[in-house]
Amino acid sequence: FPRCRSGGAFPLPAGLRDCVRFVRAFRLQDADVQFLASVLPPDTDPAFFDHLRALDGSGVTLRALPEGSLAFPGVPLLQVSGPLLVVQLLETPLLCLISYASLVATNAARLRLIAGPKTRLLEMGLRRAQGPDGGLTASTYSYLGGFDSSSNVLAGQLRGVPVAGTLAHSFVTSFSGTEVPPDPMLAPAAGQGPKVDLAASVEEWLGRVCAHLGLGVQEPHPGERAAFVAYALAFPRAFQGLLDSYSVWRSGLPNFLAVALALGELGYRAVGVRLDSGDLLQQAQEVRRVFRTVAAQFQVPWVEWVSIAVSNGVDEKELARLAQEDSEVNIIGIGTNVVTCPRQPSLGCVYKLVSVGGQPRVKLTEDPEKQTLPGSKAAFRLLGPDEEPPPRAGQEMSVWPRAAQKPCLVRPAQVEPLLRLWVWQGQLCEPLPSLAESRAFAQLSLSSLRPEHRRPDNPAPYQVALSEKLQALVEALASEAEPGSGAAATTTGGKVCSPHNAQEPAPEGLPQISWEEGVLADLALCTAACLEEAGLVGTQATALTLCSALEARGKRLEDQVHALVRGLLAQVSSLAEGRPRQVALRVLSALALEHAQDVVYELLPRSLPADRAAVELWRSLSRSQRVSGQVLVQLLWVLKGAAGGGGREPQALAATCALGEMLAVSGCVAATRGFYPHLLLVLVTQLHQLARGQCSPKIWAPSHRGPPHSHASCAVEALKALLTGDGSRMVVTCMEQAGGWRRLAGAHTHLEGVLLLASAIVAHADHHLRGLFADLLPRLRSADDPQRLTAMAFFTGLLQSRPTARLLREEVILERLCIWQSDPEPTVRWLGLLGLGHLALNRGKVRHVSTLLPALLGALGEGDARLVGAALGALRRLLLRPRAPVRLLSTELRPRLPPLLDDARDSVRASAVGLLGMLVRRGRGGLRVGLRGPLRKLVLQSLVPLLLRLHDPSRDAAESSEWTLARCDQALRWGLLEEVVTMAHYDSPEALSRVCHRLVQRYPSHVPSFLSQTQGYLRSRQDTLRRAAIMLIGFLVHHASPSCINQDLLDSLFQDLGLLQSALEPTVAAAAQVSAQQVALLACAQGPPVKARLLRLRRRGGARPQPVYADSPFQPQSLAGRWGCSQPRCT
């Protein structure tokens, strides 16, 4: 592209995935050719249409900038090479696919830079887009450019874009206020207590809200209120309000507050409001002010931080206003100005010829901007030492900046190649990144760009320069094109280059054929052509006739197979498209019908690199099911024979590529019916061998021309073709969305990928489960590690399916999984624990929990976080079964679980807290009737860690602690749910004080234990946790009776708090001083001062004063991630 018309410095290339898919699937169907024949002149040569039918993308090579990288004027976004006619036909489709996608991604990136990283952006432009296809493209690539979500549900279903939305005006205005909800009763959020008439509660709150706002009760529109009530009854946990259907201040805001406060009484939280008209910035600030006054008036602090979303023709200028520091806007919806790109309706990409037959071509015009750069090029980014640490010494080089009159010298600290090879001769060279991965890469690219290039208006141009060699070529071609220069036709080596049949050079080192092999090939082609003239075009008829022709010459077909194949291979590439080539391919299929092994072993050496001719040969063998079945079996044996290495890696790569090409042909997978599970497992195991480095991922020697094909990518493509051809497209889609294919090919994530694949097969391809299970069992005892571990992972994943789990007796499965627990390899033990977890969900399978528990409980002491996490997950699944052994588990977990609540590993800590919550949930019946069993003791032993972990640095651990405390409140009937939620999400020492007061009242004998546990956290390295522990001690001591705590404990607490008063963190020191005062007051209340040298305070009468803390560790986190808003600011 020549320049950025939007005023920015860069575009964000996008659409690569669509381009790759189009090129690989490109082929003109018969209906297409027939239509062309109907519109072209009637005297058009019929052979031209035969030529069109034979065209496909198998000879096309594609190099491109990765999606999410930055481009600048003059840098090629895409390089396409291949047969001239094919690449000319691809011009318009590729420009269409990449231009609009890149335009939307670039526009979205500009808007994201203006909005900043905290404000969430919602794309909502489908109704303004250029048709449904344009709408889907805009939703997809606005997400890549930096938007957080889209209102286009189809983009979420097909492309994995996060979806979000709000109410519609039509929904609100469709209510008149006379409607009566079918069921106005709503249960509390905790699930306990009687249902409440929400409509009546809303009317009661409306009077209080209107009185606070100075409005009459009749002013808010009843229809709007009825719409809000109906929405709240349907989605009480996701209630939101659209405020401007009638009037924001007289109707929308009071109606929303009435419904939100009525829901708040039941434990629900409104998630946000939307403004869609007027001065959005001013209204957002006024709405936030009202929220603050309402929160203070009615003692509901969460109302202050309800999210505010705005929309209504937001452009770049308005976005800059809304994104300023004091705007109070959390979410901004943009529609028209992101999908129509008003600053630049078109990106202006061009598609120009730069080389034919290896000879450069250039376009010279009067406009220097439109002059092309000749020849096939590589692009690099030269990075200075201050841009990419650590700097490395580079080589000084001379470059020509665009439009400069002389070169300049640069010495880059690092050189970054920009163009990557994605498709070679129709073959995918590496897995395409997912949309989420491209989005993350785009944000990383934008963050690495200097501010002067990143600003939306008047950015500094990013310098693009030509190498000396390219500059010299441009000048030479320009001088040749001048009048009178005598430039002639471009030649190479004295031979005129024909641009019409130009293809990339063939690989070097191909075997030469003998004269006899050529004669045999001619005989075979002549025989097949004669049969076709006679109307006999079957494979079997060709084979029989060819056998007879050879016998007439005194030769046997079985002895001449190798010579025939070599002769045919030498002639196929030189035969014209259409009938002559089809005849040659039919002869090859006829040979493979009876001599598949010989044909395969002759074809494999010719398949590296996988050029267009090799692809066509393998695909031709898949046309007949009889032939394809035999060829696939031979390829499978090649893969199995190469599993042990021994220098057979090139042969294995060739076989893998051949499998991918054959299986991609429609109907070919049906030929694998007898060995489908075996083939699937061989391909997955091969990926494990590649990941472990037993096979080199890039095979052939540098003397071969072409890309260094990734063996792993070929195996992944073969797997995709195998699953897709069997009707299991959903398995492929699930793996793509979960990143499963990249995990399968990863050195450290392969087994995770196998587990994902097994889960997807269980969910969407269960007709193969029995065959897979039967094929796995012998592999579980294999001496080959990749084969054994892959089989174990598959076996573990398939246990999720009840039909396959029933194929073996319970004792056999348990015995096998328990044996894995004694294996010295941690990975094997981890797979065994995952299998036990899957088995625990099978209600009718595990009858003896005592067989399952020892292995799970023993793994809780492992040092590997994977093993501990798997054991905790399996125990949690065990609790999901009917009649779960709650008492037995409580007894066994009481000494094991509390240490895990303070584990240094975030994942283990979160899982342990979740398991405790599940245990309380299943055992709540016994806790309610007051049983003093092991579960009650475990809960009381874990209360202090749960309270302190409400603000764990790990979000998962914090949310698990909140959920578990809510379950404890429900089971033990504390009545503290509101306080627990407030502590978890807001800065509220008052809520912590009420919790401590209730705990001291309920469990006075446990107060010393609570204090001793909390005292241990005073030595934590995390300031937040230390402050939380100090405050907890202060409130527990304040509410405790003097007789509950012995003097030694008070003395120890006072000493530790005294040490913390000199802490470097001011808030820790201040909190320690307040809590130390509470300890001293309680000691004075007991009688004579304890250790007067420490507690030099006189005894005072009356109640002890409430501790007041200047700063609290419980920072507001209420709505982060709940409705897609950013963290509220603390004031």
Q: Closest Cα partner for 909 from 968, 861, 865, 851?
A: 865
- Whether 810-871 and 999-1089 share one fold: the answer is yes
pLDDT for 1127: 39
pLDDT for 897: 86
How many CA within 13 A on the CB side of residue 1047?
Answer: 12
Q: Is the dihedral of CA 424, 430, 431, 432 positive or negative?
A: negative
Q: Is 131 left (phi over 0), alpha (psi -120 to 50) or beta?
A: left
- pLDDT higher at 1114 or 348: 348
| Residue 684 contacts residue 794 (beta carbons within 8 Å) | yes
In tens, the pLDDT along 6-32 reads: 555 577 888 888 888 888 888 888 888
In tens, the pLDDT along 491-510 reads: 333 333 333 333 444 333 33
Token pair, residue 188, equals: 């509390």
Residue 298 has pLDDT above 50, yes or no: yes
pLDDT for 541: 47
Cα angle value 440/446/451 (rounded, 5°): 155
pLDDT for 425: 64
Q: Could you give the 3-state DSSP secondary structure of residue 654?
A: helix
The amino acid occupying position 358 is: G
What DSSP state is assigned to residue 275?
Answer: E
pLDDT for 637: 81
pLDDT for 291: 92
Q: Could you give the 3-state DSSP secondary structure of residue 957?
A: helix
Strand partners, 644: none
pLDDT for 332: 92
CB-count burial class (<10 Å; 0-12, 13-18, 19+) for 1126: middle
Distance CA 864, CA 828 (A): 12
| Average pLDDT for 154-159 | 86
Q: Is 512 left (phi over 0), alpha (psi -120 to 50) or beta?
A: beta
How many CA within 13 A on the CB side of residue 913?
Answer: 30
> Could you write out the three-class secondary structure of 345-380?
CCCCCCCCCCEECCEECCCCCCCHHHCCCCCCCCCE
Give the CA dihedral 389, 394, 400, 404, nearest 10 degrees: 60
Q: What is the Cα gyration radius of the chain?
A: 36
Q: Could you give the 3-state DSSP secondary structure of residue 595?
A: coil
Residue 278 has pLDDT above 80, yes or no: yes
Cβ within 8 Å of residue 1107, ≥6 positions away: 993, 1031, 1034, 1035, 1038, 1074, 1075, 1077, 1078
Q: Could you give the 3-state DSSP secondary structure of residue 477?
A: helix
Is the backbone peptide bond immediately before 609 cis, with ω within 30 degrees of 0?
A: yes
Q: Which fold has domain 810-871?
A: Leucine-rich Repeat Variant (1.25.10)
Helix axis angle, 989-1002 to 977-985, nearest 10°: 140
Cβ atoms within 10 Å, residue 279:
12
Pairing label, strands 78-81, 61-64: antiparallel
Cβ within 8 Å of residue 918, ≥6 positions away: 876, 879, 880
Q: Measured between alpha carbons, how far is residue 618 from residues 171, 202, 610, 819 in Å?
A: 58, 71, 10, 45
Give, for 498, the enclosing helix (H) or strand (E). none
In tens, the pLDDT along 386-407 reads: 443 333 335 666 665 666 666 7
Helices (H), 806-905: 810-821, 826-840, 849-859, 865-879, 886-893, 897-901
Distance CA 342, CA 318 (A): 14
Distance CA 676, CA 180 (A): 59
Pairing label, strands 331-334, 120-123: parallel
Token pair, residue 278, equals: 């007027």
Cβ within 8 Å of residue 786, ≥6 positions away: 685, 688, 689, 692, 694
Task: Enumerate the domain spans of the chain.
Answer: 167-309, 380-415, 678-690+712-807, 810-871, 885-987, 999-1089
Q: Is the dihedral of CA 1067, 1069, 1073, 1076 positive or negative?
A: positive
In tens, the pLDDT along 304-361 reads: 889 999 988 888 888 888 888 778 898 999 988 888 877 766 666 666 666 666 666 6
Is the backbone peptide bond immediately before 1088 cis, with ω within 30 degrees of 0?
A: no
| Residue 920 contacts residue 964 (beta carbons within 8 Å) | yes
Distance CA 949, CA 983 (A): 11
Pairing label, strands 359-360, 355-356: antiparallel
In tens, the pLDDT along 581-609 reads: 566 666 667 666 677 777 777 777 766 66
pLDDT for 1102: 52
| Average pLDDT for 426-454 | 72
pLDDT for 59: 83
Residue 71 has pLDDT above 60, yes or no: yes
pLDDT for 780: 81
pLDDT for 228: 93
Confidence of residue 488 (pLDDT cuts 50, 70, 90): very low
Instruction: Looking at the structure, give the CATH architecture of the domain made up of residues 999-1089.
Output: Alpha Horseshoe (1.25)
Distance CA 1040, CA 1083 (A): 11
Token pair, residue 596, equals: 């598949």
CB under 8 A, 24+ apart: contacts of 939-942: 939/968, 939/972, 940/1003, 940/1006, 940/1009, 941/894, 941/898, 941/1009, 942/897, 942/898, 942/901, 942/916
Which of 67-81, 169-183, 279-293 shows the lowest per-residue confidence on average (mean pLDDT)?
67-81
pLDDT for 518: 45
| Mean pLDDT, all residues of the chain | 75
In tens, the pLDDT along 518-567 reads: 444 454 545 545 544 444 444 444 455 555 554 555 555 556 666 666 65
| Average pLDDT for 151-176 | 88
pLDDT for 206: 92
Confidence of residue 1088 (pLDDT cuts 50, 70, 90): low
In tens, the pLDDT along 942-999 reads: 888 888 888 788 888 888 888 888 888 888 888 888 888 877 776 678 888 888 988 8
| Average pLDDT for 788-800 | 83
| Residue 872 contacts residue 860 (beta carbons within 8 Å) | yes
In tens, the pLDDT along 819-838 reads: 787 778 888 888 877 877 77
Token pair, residue 657, equals: 């590529």
| Average pLDDT for 719-730 | 85
In tens, the pLDDT along 928-958 reads: 544 457 888 888 888 888 888 887 888 888 8
Q: Could you give the 3-state DSSP secondary structure of residue 780?
A: coil
| Residue 1 contacts residue 347 (beta carbons within 8 Å) | yes
Residue 1086 has pLDDT above 60, yes or no: yes
Cβ within 8 Å of residue 854, ≥6 positions away: none
pLDDT for 242: 92
pLDDT for 394: 54
What DSSP state is assigned to residue 657?
Answer: H
